[in-house]
Each structure stands twice: as C-alpha cells, then as structure tokens.
Amino acid sequence: MTNNTTNQNTTTNFFDSNIDTETIKRTQNYRAPVDVYETEGAFRVIADMPGTSSEKIAISVEDNMLTIDAEVLDRYAAFGKLRHQEYGVGDFHRSFRIGDGIDADCITASYRDGVLELTLPKSQALKPRKIDIKAA
C-alpha cells in the first residue's frame, strides 16, 4: 500500500495526483518584483528573491545595463513528491537601463530574508551641488 491510497473521501481533487519533484524547478527565469527609490545621493533597488543565497546572486553592470541574476537552490530535491503546487520555482532575473549617472564601482548589495537590496550611488554629475559663495 502506498501513501497515495491513504487519501480519504474528504480530500479534494487537487491532492490526488503526485508529481515527481525532480521536474519541479523550471528552467525559465522569473521576474523578481522590485521597488526603486531615489534619494539625494543614491538609488536603492529592493527585490524579492526568496530561496537563493548571497553567493548565488550575480550583479553586473555592462553597457549601461544593470543585471541581476539569482540562482535559486533546488530545494525540492530532498523531498518526496509534490502533492499540490501553486507557484513555480526557478531562477530570478531582472535588468535595468542605467545612464551615466551611477557610480558603478561603488554599488553595494545585501541579501537578507529573501530580499536583495542594492544601493547605487549617484555619480558626481547627478548629485545636487551646493555652490559656496566665497566671502569677498
């Protein structure tokens, strides 16, 4: 007797079929939702990317394109069967056009609780400048 047959009458349809977890992780990329904020000195990009780790996130700037790629760990390999699925699991990808206004060498990033946070400092050209008036 397998577990499949232990379902009782009260069980609704969607519990009835089992899928091999090996097929679950998608080869496609998912688009992570982001918030973007601008402050006086920097832009901040905050992205929901659950299920990855800081070592698996690649952030690059090339030809004025900021690209974020996050490899999601194949966390279902250790489990048995998927009984019920409402979301797909796959790697995350987002890219943004950035102008010359960002100091690409000074971008910083942190990853915590499944949320990636980038700080992109503005280059001097974009920062509001305060012009000192010299005393005569």
Q: Give residues 2-31 in contact with another protein (rule: CB under 8 A).
A: 2-3, 6-8, 10-19, 21, 26, 28, 30-31
Interstrand relation of 89-97 and 25-31 (parallel, antiparallel or unpaired): parallel
The reply on whether position 107 binds another protein by CB under 8 A is: no
Residue whose C-alpha is closest to residue 36's, from 132, 134, 122, 120: 120
Residue among 1 and 136 whose Cβ is closer to another protein: 1
| Helix, coil or strand: residue 55 | helix
What distance in Å separates the CA atoms of residue 68 and residue 60, rounded to the nearest whole number?
A: 7
What mask of x and - would describe binding to another protein in positions 44 to 83, judged by CB under 8 A? xxxxxxxxxx-----------xx--------xx--xxxxx
Residue among 13 and 133 whose Cβ is closer to another protein: 13
What distance in Å separates the CA atoms of residue 36 and residue 107, rounded to the nearest whole number?
A: 14
Minimum distance from CB of 82 to another protein (Å)?
Answer: 5
